[in-house]
Amino acid sequence: MFQLAEDVRLIPFKVQSIETRADKIPGGVQKIQAPEIWNKGEKGKGIVVAVLDTGVQKDHPDLKDRIIGGRNFTTDDNGNPNTFNDYNGHGTHVAGTIAASANAGGVVGVAPEAQLLILKVLAKDGSGSYDWIIKAIDYAAAWKGPNGERVRVISMSLGGPQDVPALHKAIQNAVEKDIAVVVAAGNEGDGKEDTQEFAFPGAYSEVIEVAASTLDNKLADFSNNNNQVDVIAPGVDILSTWIGGKYSSISGTSMATPHVSGALALLINLAEKEFGRTLTEAEIYAALIKQSVPLGYKKSSEGHGLVQLDYQNKVRELLAYIAQNF
């Protein structure tokens, strides 16, 4: 077993504001064009996303209908495995970006009808152990829901400096079971594109590593640059759910990651409807890359580019317009 003390932590993040009320589609959800494909992607209905974080506020009005199950792997609440309460706020924020319900109040997530499996791997102070994370990944990979549901996406907005072979193996096993594993790149960036910063598990080639952009398509100056970055998504001033039934605006690659996790829930539904079968993890990844648009930065900063879920459709519309008018 790995040392339980602070082997891995929440990627540092900054809380800009906390609000008691919000009634809007957040800017990040709009920026990645999620609403444009809600109908085709069935708002993520039937897709289970496992969220490995600090837990969740289970009775938050925007999240209570999205949680299909959960488990606590930390020492919080005396290690009771059935309590996965969020005493930090980070996990609740991430969960809201992925799948906050469209309930005519509060915020709306990227995939507002997806289901969330909440796996608490970080304690109230934001620290945890690789052992907890490994067990949670294995749990997610083996989990079956009440109606035979399986986890299709694992979302991890966390990281540490160590390359842990057992963690890498657990991720490889999950990917072999066709689960897409989405991980934050990290916030150790120095604002220079010619330097590289690595955090794990984001730097493993098997995961989908997510960098952060601003809402006006600039590279976030804190976002890690490295040769394993796959895509970039909004991660600055991101509004989502918060503990106490509230809402907060936060910045970090932790906030970019759930945009991609929610996007995959939509794309899995859309693509599997088109193909008439279950997709492999490689096909899920390919579907995401097809909907990514370069912003003009180095590949080590933005990977394949900004996630734009309606990009292919907009290209087809443009080509049809040109064919008809020129």
> Which residues are part of the catalytic machinery?
53, 90, 254
DSSP 191-260: S-TTS----BTTTSTTSEEEEEE-TTSPBPTTS---TTEEEEEE-SSEEEEETTTEEEEEESHHHHHHHH
At 275, give phi and psi (nearest 5°).
-85, -20
DSSP 60-77: -TTTTTTEEEEEE-SSGG
Determine which helix (DSSP H) or strand (DSSP E) holds 19, and give its type and residue range.
strand 14-19
DSSP class of residue 81 equals T
DSSP class of residue 43 equals G
Amino acid at 40: K
Determine which helix (DSSP H) or strand (DSSP E) holds 23, and give its type and residue range.
strand 23-24
How far is Cα 111 from Cα 104, in angstroms, rounded to an integer? 15
Q: Are 126 and 55 in contact (CB under 8 A)?
A: no
HEC secondary structure over 126-178 = CEECHHHHHHHHHHHHHCCCCCCCCEEEEEECEEECCCCHHHHHHHHHHHHCC
Amino acid at 269: N
How far is Cα 220 from Cα 226, in angstroms, rounded to an integer? 14
Determine which helix (DSSP H) or strand (DSSP E) holds 314, and give its type and residue range.
helix 311-325
- Which residue is it, tokens 């082997």? 7
- Which of 202, 183, 207 minimizes the C-alpha distance to 258? 183
